Amino acid sequence: MNRTVALPFTWFLLASDLTGLLLCFNLAVLLRLEQSVNLNSPLLYGLTLACMFGLYLADNYKIPQNISSFWFVVRVLLSLLVIVIVITSGIYFAGLWGRENLVGRGILFISMGLFAGWAIASRILVSKWLQKNPTVSRFLVIGGGKKALNFAQEYQSADTEAQFVFLTANKLTTAVLAGQNQVEFGVNSHLSPSNTPELPFFNHNNVTIDRLENFQLWEQQSWSAAIIDYSSKEVSDTTLQRLMAMRLRGIYVYSLADFYEQFWHKIPPAYIQDDWFALASGFTILHNPLNIKFKQLLDFCAAALLILITLPITMLAAIAVKLESPGTIFYSQVRTGHNGKKFRVYKFRSMGQDAEQMGVQWAQERDPRITKVGRLLRLTRIDELPQLWNVLKGDMSLIGPRPERPEFDGQLRQEIPYYDVRYLVKPGITGWAQVCYPYGASVEDAYQKVAYDLYYIKNYSLFLDFVIALKTLKVVILGKGR
């Protein structure tokens, strides 16, 4: 499901859960105490927010794709069970048990039981509505170069029903796409099929090709957005005037880079040029000294606090690493940091002592070099805890681009445009790329990571750091690390 459709329903579920929790607490108090709940109680809103936060961490605000799925119901029920256990434990140790109406006489358990039905019903309602009212994304793409085709391929990989109309004067593109018997041709296109091999990545039934000169035949139709591929060099003054008229009619008009940034929260390096860096808004983290100093202060204070909080976990992890396999407890490695400065990063050793006896390698999925304890440490991100020392030293930030190994930098710098921009800020233990994209093990993966890093650097804010921290916590709880 595309983000433009999913986002409003995510907000609906948040509002529904907030309303449902308040109603269920009130109903439980009414049943047990024959009175209404105190709407001025801080504990009421604290419990409500704790429940919603727990549901978020367990991924219960994603739109259910299959309402008949047994695991969909189980996930909601298990999430609420864990939430109740955590809240009950916290209330008990805080000494509030029996002293507050909301946490006595079974009111909390009754409330959660009622809310479980509410939460499941609201998600089923949303899913059924989406099934009965499917929304098809429809894009008018100006240009038919490789970048425009890659954009359509990526969009259709997530939304196979998305429709695209390419208006292009590129004869090579029209010849390639004309080779698909399934492709629908635009009005008066006068294109003839070629012998070009079929392109495998399109849902060809949803692709239409026409000449750019026929723009006026398409501009009055309904579109999700118009997309401009500036790299195709096909955008004339006349085309821009027609696009302006579309925008004034309420149709969104984006460049490829702007669409990626707004909807997919990344900026692929291949879609930007020097003039984009010169004219684009944002990048406040690079030229606002106050922002930089405040981030450094937060990093230092948070790292010191986390070292103290996680000390018991750190000690258990160190013992587990030492007992499972011979070798050192910690693993150090040279990485590239701020402005290309090299530094030594520290982690708990998650591989065998001789993991790189064959030389430097990309880490792979299900890497056989990873030990059993190491796999658990990676899944929970516990192996990253020693990097808090790097934050205290000033080599790293809590949040920022992932520091890469110098051995890989040379190749990546040659193959990925604007690769070094990611080193204009301090690298981080976690970051936007780390929570949005799986662990990279190739140049293509590194390219995707740089796309997310560029988005982070351009759109940096304390709120974005807060969102990344929440997403990181979700990764840790759900064991999605690697």
CB 57 within 8 A of CB 474: yes
- Nearest 10 degrees: CA dihedral of 335, 338, 339, 340? 0
**Would you state the pLDDT for residue 480?**
64
- Nearest 10 degrees: CA dihedral of 391, 381, 72, 135? 50
**Would you state the pLDDT for residue 192?**
29
- Nearest 10 degrees: CA dihedral of 47, 49, 55, 60? 140
Please list the rounded mean pLDDT of every run of 10 residues in the chain (482 residues): 62 92 91 82 88 88 64 84 86 70 78 92 84 83 85 85 85 54 38 36 71 88 91 80 92 93 93 88 87 92 94 92 85 92 91 61 63 84 92 95 90 92 94 85 87 95 92 80 55
The model's pLDDT over 241-296, given as tens digits with 9 standing for 90+, comes to 999 999 999 999 999 999 999 999 999 999 998 888 888 888 988 888 888 899 99
**Would you state the pLDDT for residue 306?**
94
**Would you state the pLDDT for residue 185?**
38
The model's pLDDT over 216-234, given as tens digits with 9 standing for 90+, comes to 889 889 999 999 988 777 7
**Would you state the pLDDT for residue 394?**
93
Cβ neighbourhood burial of 14 (10 Å; 0-12, 13-18, 19+) = middle
Cα separation, 141 vs 223, in Å, equals 10
CATH number of 138-264: 3.40.50
Domains of the chain by residue range: 3-132, 138-264, 286-353+365-478
Question: Mutual orientation of helices 70-93 and 42-57 as an angle, nearest 10°?
Answer: 140
**Would you state the pLDDT for residue 119?**
92
Cα separation, 45 vs 245, in Å, equals 48
Is pTM beyond 0.85 here?
no
The model's pLDDT over 63-86, given as tens digits with 9 standing for 90+, comes to 655 555 677 788 888 889 988 888
Contacts of 391 (CB under 8 A, 6+ apart): 299, 300, 303, 397, 398, 429
CB 105 within 8 A of CB 33: yes
**Would you state the pLDDT for residue 430?**
94
Element (H, E) at 42: helix 42-57
**Would you state the pLDDT for residue 114?**
93
Cα separation, 51 vs 59, in Å, equals 13
